[in-house]
Structure 1
């Protein structure tokens, strides 16, 4: 079987790409195709980032002559800039190249200032993996890639022990970086509009970022006793937050395919979110998710109100999350598809 070098950020880095690759590690294809994770970046001070890049490059150069496929995970401008040299070296050594795009923004779109940076990777790749049909259409429009070069592969739901109904507590959970792009501030404002109707409910925000700005907004709205800032959580703390939540909300303005939503589905949580990134591929308002327009705080408050007050609707959306986790985004199905992609490049 071919040997595969998986080039991506460190397994210690916070974020969706790391979560995706950790899920891929659980699949049969990881051992079947002798995958090795080349770690090229880690959060932290500049010296640590430089060290990880150099050590990753050394690891890559030592293993590159003996591999068959290079699978590069890339996202925004900074990631793509770092990964371009790995793509160039893979073609210099005549290896098969897979470029796996996790971007949440329009960097490569027509008029995007970094379009030419992405062009090399996309045009020289033997296969381009995209997170949704939406992104496949956009890449086709911008770069005119042949249809057989592109493959849509969804991010998988993690494997977890799903929550039981009796474990639920009355709180809405947000998990992600606290930035306006993720819409955490919109969620605080929307919750404030309905908080008086649901005195037993709380809002919990898990993630790093604009924590002080968020606390200031909460104080302005008189919601300090109803909103909790959990900071960045993982491991047991993350599991506890998802297991005991009753609703997951991600009011994002742009995404690739959000891992927070996949985590919520894995824990069978009903999801309130926006139709951005890859979500329109599968999300149907009122059927399997509760959707609202990005930035529409009033509509968000109405969707939360519906889910919190209508038990039949709550059960319906929860059951849809179970189906997503066990079928559409099942990690074994996704990793099997990834193995088929590797096999097609032999």
Structure 2
């Protein structure tokens, strides 16, 4: 089979890019699919974004025709991504390829419900036009099914996955509390800074390390605002080159988000054996079992976040239990090998389905 994936470029760091890079690095997957990849989105000014999008559209049309692409697999988020990648779906349908939308949008439901009726109608048309809709967890099935007007046969759960170490690599003597994600309001960074500031004197050997794409959050100023100079730092984006060192120094990964999909940062750290403290939203409870391999709190509950963080940093027996359970959960449910096998089976099923699925609305 021949597969064309469409998504963001290497300048648009985040979970979606990590997912794509995992596919590109998986030689068996690339060999099975003769994988091609074209970016239609970038982190740039308005003209740069338009240029990337239009050139991407042209390359997609050319590639589908030249290489006789069987499946066009688009990675979609909310807002402009829906319409940009939605155009790709409609274009690919016109050119005779099967189409898959892989929905990564953490705020897709909230965003959709805030649109004008005519815009919602267009979104429904885009979703229904795809041959398959991949969602990151069962939490989204009712919403996506409603938008797709009951076309449940098209909806498939494909949880994010990561490389999982063969053994638990987490270090019980590590001294870092990690935040690893985009530095934006919905990730709850302020809540973490507030919680750590309140307990820092009770855990004098622990330090807070912020890693991620700074989207005008100004982390250095925030660290100063919460009085955490000398106890917190900002290290930029975690790259494949420094990920091992970052994880080796990490005792706990904390992601107190308000909206999410299935965060790659949680899966990557669990695959290393690092326990997580996160929120009970989206598909996160499908990875983090509260009180078993990590802790879950309500979004915005700084008091609970503070208590759980203090507990996990001071109770070494509990930490070790959570660490072992986190690694086991990642190995059993979120390994890249099993993920790729499931995706290939979805591809095979789609190509074998010669029925004319209902499209549109």
Give the corresponding residue for 1:295: 300
| Larger CA deviation: 212-221 vs 307-316 | 212-221
Contact conserved, 1:254 with 1:276, CA < 8 A, in 2? Answer: yes
List aligned pairs for 1:1-346, cutoff 5 A.
Answer: 2-25=1-24, 26=26, 28-65=28-65, 66-105=68-107, 106-107=109-110, 109-113=112-116, 115-159=120-164, 164-166=169-171, 168-209=173-214, 213-346=218-351
Distance in 1 (alpha carbons) for counterparts of 2:304 and 2:241: 33
Give the Cα–Cα distance (whole angstroms) in 2 for the partners of residues 44 and 239 of structure 1: 29
Q: Against the structure 1 CA distance between its residues 45 and 311, is the aligned structure 2 distance closer, same or farther, given a 3 Å change threshold?
A: same
Deviation larger for 157-166 or 289-298? 157-166
**Pair 272,227 (structure 1): closer, same or farther in 2 beyond 3 Å:** same
Provide Cα deviations, 1:115-153, integer angstroms capped at 9, x if missing partner: 334212211111110001001122123332322111000
TM-score (norm 1): 0.93
5+ long unaligned stretches in structure 1? none
* Distance in 2 separating the partners of 1:160 and 1:284: 20
- 1:268 CA drift (Å): 1.2
Paired residues in the alignment total 345
Report the CA distance between 1:87 and its aligned residue: 1.1
Structure 1 Cα separation of the partners of residues 170 and 187 of structure 2:
28
More divergent stretch after superposition (200-209 vs 108-117): 108-117
Provide the secondary structure at the position in 1 that maps to 2:61. Answer: helix
Instruction: Quote the offset at 1:158 in angstroms.
Output: 3.1
Structure 2 gaps, min length 5 = 352-361
Alpha carbons of structure 1 residues 229 and 127: separation in structure 2 relative to 1, 3 Å: same
Where 1:231 maps in the other structure, the secondary structure is: coil
Q: Distance in 2 between matches of 1:256 and 1:117?
A: 23
